[in-house]
Amino acid sequence: MADDLDFDCPRCHQPASAPFYGPCPTCREQLRATVGREPQVAEVAEYEPKMNVTPNAVALKD
pTM confidence score: 0.54
Degrees to nearest 5, angle at CA 16 with 33 and 21: 80
Nearest to residue 20, comparing CAs of 7, 11, 33? 7
Alpha-carbon dihedral of residues 52, 55, 56, 57, nearest 10 degrees?
A: -100
d(Cα 20, Cα 1) in Å, to the nearest integer? 10
pLDDT digits (tens, 9 = 90+) for 1-50: 568 899 999 999 999 999 999 999 999 999 999 998 888 999 998 988 77
Nearest to 21 by CA among 36, 42, 7: 7
